[in-house]
Amino acid sequence: MNKFVLDACAVLALLKGEQGMEIVKNTIESNARTYLHSVTLLEIYYNIAKELGIGSADLFLGQMRQSPIDIINEITDNTIKSAGYYKSKYKISLGDSFVLATAKEYNATILSSDHHEFDIIENSESINFLWIR
């Protein structure tokens, strides 16, 4: 079974109807397992609250809890070590470090459009990416 981890930009592309949204939509609707770490969910919630208000962010959160996406709420010691490694080595955002740690833990491919943060990691680490644009 294929497994994927969603980056915040992939979910936001889907919500905003941006380029790459079809790839995200098709992945979620396929038989693949799709994961989203709660730290990434917080990042998306914050963006929606900032742009559209808390009510819209709350609605989004409820919809995500009802979606087929597996929300990962647990932060284990291994997650902390892995996310900390990526954050310290590549000087990326905290959210992106959790995307990487989740992909490593679940042996999953990352869906993202964030080449700025992830291109160097794709070339240096054994983590797979599916670029939505």
Per-residue pLDDT, 103:
97
Q: Which pLDDT score is estimated for 119?
A: 94
Separation CA 39–CA 30 (nearest Å) = 24
List per-residue pLDDT tens for the chain, 133 residues long: 899 999 999 999 999 999 999 999 999 999 899 999 999 999 999 999 999 999 999 999 999 999 999 999 999 999 999 999 999 999 999 999 999 999 999 999 999 999 999 999 999 999 999 999 9
pLDDT of residue 1: 83
Nearest CA to 91 among 124, 52, 58, 118? 118
Helix (H) or strand (E) holding 12: helix 8-16
- Helices (DSSP H) in 17-76: which residue ranges? 21-29, 38-52, 54-66
Look at residue 113 and give its three-state secondary structure: coil
Q: What is the CATH number that goes with domain 3-131?
A: 3.40.50.1010
The whole-number pLDDT of residue 42 equals 97
Contact 109, 5 (CB under 8 A): yes
